[in-house]
Amino acid sequence: MYRLEEPTRPGEVRPGGRTARVRSAVLTAVVDELLDHGYASFAMDRVSARAGVGRTTLYRRWGSPSALVRDLLQSIAEQTMPIPDTGSVEEDLRIITQALLEAHLDQRLQATIQGIIAAAGCAPEIDEALRTFFQSRATEAAVVITRAVERGELPPGTDGVDIFRMLAAPLCFRLLVSREPVDQAVADRTAAVILHAARTGLFTTPDAQ
Amino acid sequence: MYRLEEPTRPGEVRPGGRTARVRSAVLTAVVDELLDHGYASFAMDRVSARAGVGRTTLYRRWGSPSALVRDLLQSIAEQTMPIPDTGSVEEDLRIITQALLEAHLDQRLQATIQGIIAAAGCAPEIDEALRTFFQSRATEAAVVITRAVERGELPPGTDGVDIFRMLAAPLCFRLLVSREPVDQAVADRTAAVILHAARTGLFTTPDAQ
C-alpha cells in the first residue's frame, strides 16, 4: 500500500495513454521537488523542467503547487491497499500491519509523506486532503473489522476506523516524532495490543458501524 | 508538561538574571520565527530583531539556527512533567495521559513541535535532539511503570518506555497525520487499551528494566 507511482518507461503502454504518462512524470517531479526544496520553496517552473512537461500544460491542468500536492496524495490513494479476508481477524490484521510496516520502511515514500504533512501546515486545502486521504483508507480497511464482528470474533459495535488509527499511530510516531526505527517487533506488538483490546470490547462505540 | 516558556515580564526577577532573560526572549522569538517562516527560511537577523537582542550576542551564544532550535527543544524538556505516584497505575496513567492531552490541545506548542519536526528533516543534529528529547521524557515517565511492577500491578519486565510511546502515539497521529481533533475520549480510550494490554503482559520484554 501507499506505493509511489513509478514513472512510465519509454515504449510502455499504459491505460490512459499520454494523459496518464504526463501525470506520472509530473507527480514524480513533484516528489523530487518536495524532497529537494520543500513546499515552502516549491517552484512550478522546476517541476515543469524536471518532468519535461511544458509550463502551459502544467498550469492548465493543475494551476498551483497546492493542486499538484493534492494530486500526488490522490495518486498514493489510488495504489492498491490489501483488504484481506482470510476468515481470521488476527491474520487479517497481521497482513494489514505488514503492509503498513512496509510502507513505513519505504524511505522515499516516508520522506514524501513528511513533505506533504509539512505542506499541510502551510495550505488548508492540503490539510483537508490529508484528512480525507486518511479517512478513506481507514474506512476501506474497517471492512475487515465489520466481517470479524459478523463472524462473532469481535464484539458488536467495534469501531474499525479507530482500530486502524491505533494500528498506524505507533509506526508514524516513531518515524515522525521520536525518530526511532520501525521494525517487525514494533508492528507485531502493536497488532497484538490492539487485537487484545478489541476482543475485550475496548473499541466498541455506540455509533460504530 | 511541554509548556512553552513565557517571556519574562519587565520587573520580574528570575533565577539566572539577565542571561536567563535573554534566553527567554530569544526562544520566544525562535518560536515566532518558526511559526511565521519555518526552518527552511529561518533568519537569525529576524530573531535578533524580534527578541531585541544584539546579533553579536545571538551569534556568540548560539551560533546557528540549528543551535537555537535545539535550545528551544531543551527549554521545553526543562518544563515540569508530572510523574505521579498515587499508588495506582491506572490513576498514574490517567494523570500522565491528561497532561499529554493538554499539551496536544496547546495550539502554539503543537505548531512549534511541528516546526521542530519539519526542521529535523533538514538538520541531522535536530533529528538527533528530537530523538534524545523523546527518549529522556519516556525514560522519566517509565518510573511509574517500574513502581507498578514493584507493587505487583503489572507483570515483571513490563517495558515502560514502550508504554509511553504507545500512549503518546494516537494523540500525535491525529494532530500530525490524520489531522483529526484530539479530545478526552481519545485520551481515555488510549489509556484503557494500553493498560489492559500491559496487565495481560503484552508489554513485557526480556531486556526491560
Sort A206 into a burial class: Cβ within 10 Å, 0-12 / 13-18 / 19+: exposed
Q: Do B173 and A174 touch (CB under 8 A)?
A: no
Contacts B138 to A, Cβ<8 Å: 178
For helices A160-173 and A143-150, give the axis angle rounded to 10 degrees.
Answer: 130
Closest CA to B167 of A190, A135, A105, A192: A190
- pLDDT tens digit string along A146-203? 999 999 999 999 999 999 999 999 999 998 888 888 999 999 999 999 999 999 999 9
Question: With an 8 Å Cβ cutoff, is B207 touching chain A?
Answer: no
- Domains in chain A (CATH in brackets) are 17-76 (1.10.10.60), 83-200 (1.10.357.10)
B118, B130, B170 member nearest A118 (Cβ): B118
For B161, the closest chain A residue by CA position comes to: A178
**What pLDDT score does B207 carry?**
59
What pLDDT tens digit does each residue of chain B (209 aa) get? 445 555 444 444 455 688 899 999 999 999 999 988 888 789 999 999 999 999 999 999 999 999 999 999 999 988 867 899 999 999 999 999 999 999 999 989 988 988 898 888 778 899 899 999 999 889 999 999 999 999 999 999 999 999 999 999 999 999 888 888 899 999 999 999 999 999 999 999 865 44
The Cα angle at residue A111 between residues A108 and A117, in degrees rounded to 5: 140
Contacts A38 to B, Cβ<8 Å: 38, 40, 118, 122
Percent of chain A predicted with pLDDT > 90: 66
Query: Which amino acid belongs to residue B49?
Result: A
Backbone angles phi, psi at A121, to 5 degrees: -70, -20
Question: With an 8 Å Cβ cutoff, is B166 touching chain A?
Answer: yes
Q: A8 falls in which pLDDT band (50, 70, 90)?
A: very low
* Residue partners of A3: CB distance under 8 A and separation at least 6: A76, A79, A103, A106, A109
Q: Do B134 and A166 touch (CB under 8 A)?
A: no
The yes-or-no verdict on residue A11 having pLDDT over 50 is no
Question: With an 8 Å Cβ cutoff, is B28 touching chain A?
Answer: no
**What pLDDT score does A68 carry?**
96
Question: With an 8 Å Cβ cutoff, is B136 touching chain A?
Answer: no
Question: With an 8 Å Cβ cutoff, is B179 touching chain A?
Answer: yes
CA distance B83 to B106: 20
The yes-or-no verdict on residue A18 having pLDDT over 90 is no
ipTM: 0.80
